[in-house]
Amino acid sequence: MNSVMLSSSLVVGPAMGGILIATLGVKYCFLYDTLSYIPAIFTLLVMRLPARQMQPLTGISDTLEKLREGFEYVWKFQPIRVILLMLALHGFVGMSHVALMPVFAAKILNGNATTMAHLSTSAPIGSLFACLYLSVRRGIVGLERLIVVAQVLIGMSLIFFSLSRQVWLSIIILVFVGCFSILNITSSNMIIQTLVTEDKRGRVMSFYALAMVGTMPFGNLLAGTLADNFGATNALIVCGSLIILGALWFSAQLPAVSRWIAR
């Protein structure tokens, strides 16, 4: 349900942003974005959650020790380690099309703000289809193979998108990018949440967030640097190829990951 709500917001948000840019201007987009936080703030203020007994930390050394334990657990637990590495790769190069979207919309596809809105909305629409598929699926058996397939198709879709010169074709390709991305991310999340022990869950999910979100700024920097030196098309071809190579590496780890899932 959370994935569906997030995907729905990603569909509506860019579309509204494109409409506001085309009709009222960029400044009203920032005004709308600022006002949208007010309902969320009030919602948080009215929430009343039961208090939980937490183990107090004695200081910075205790915090660092907990962090070390979490890192050691992740590194020694092969399924979680390889899945986090794949998520880091996805965040690093698999989201590069987002950073380069304005270049493709304006210079390569010769579009405007409306074109940008259409492109930005396409991937979230695909993610909705992925959420619908995952919502009717039971268990995590086979999700490790789905990760490989999704990664390969993400890489191929990015390469096809980079070569497209038609707006309608680019929109269709981005729908597939969004679908395969959610399949990859959510499948990884489900496997990790199932395999991790309860006392390590918080620390492992912190590494999960770091792998996904923490690598994206560096990936955007890489994509921008490649686009500046070799062109946006070649930049996406490189990023898509890296995703496919990562999927091939992960496929070699599948037997061990499948054994852990089958336990």
Provide the residue count of the chain.
263
pLDDT in tens, 33-78: 788 888 888 888 888 777 666 666 556 777 777 778 878 888 888 8
C-alpha span between 3 and 147 (Å, rounded): 17
For residue 233, the model assigns a pLDDT of 94
Q: How far is Cα 80 from Cα 144, in angstroms, rounded to an integer? A: 11
* Angle, CA of 254, 260 and 263, to the nearest 5°: 135
Q: In this predicted model, what pLDDT tens digit does every residue of 112-164 receive, in sequence order?
A: 877 887 888 788 888 888 888 888 877 777 788 899 999 999 999 999 999 99
Contact criterion met (CB below 8 Å) for 16 and 28: no
Superfamily, domain 2-45+62-262: MFS general substrate transporter like domains (1.20.1250.20)
Structure tokens of 258? 């499948």
pLDDT, tens digit (0-9, with 9 covering 90-100), for 201-246 = 888 888 888 888 888 889 999 999 999 999 999 999 999 999 999 9
Domain boundaries, the chain: 2-45+62-262
69 vs 71: CA distance, rounded Å: 6
Instruction: Return d(Cα 16, Cα 8) in angstroms, integer.
Output: 12
pLDDT for position 206: 85
Closest listed residue to residue 245, CA positions, set 140, 130, 159, 172: 159
The residues, any chain, with a CB within 8 Å of residue 48's CB and separated by 6 or more, are none
pLDDT at 3 over 60: no
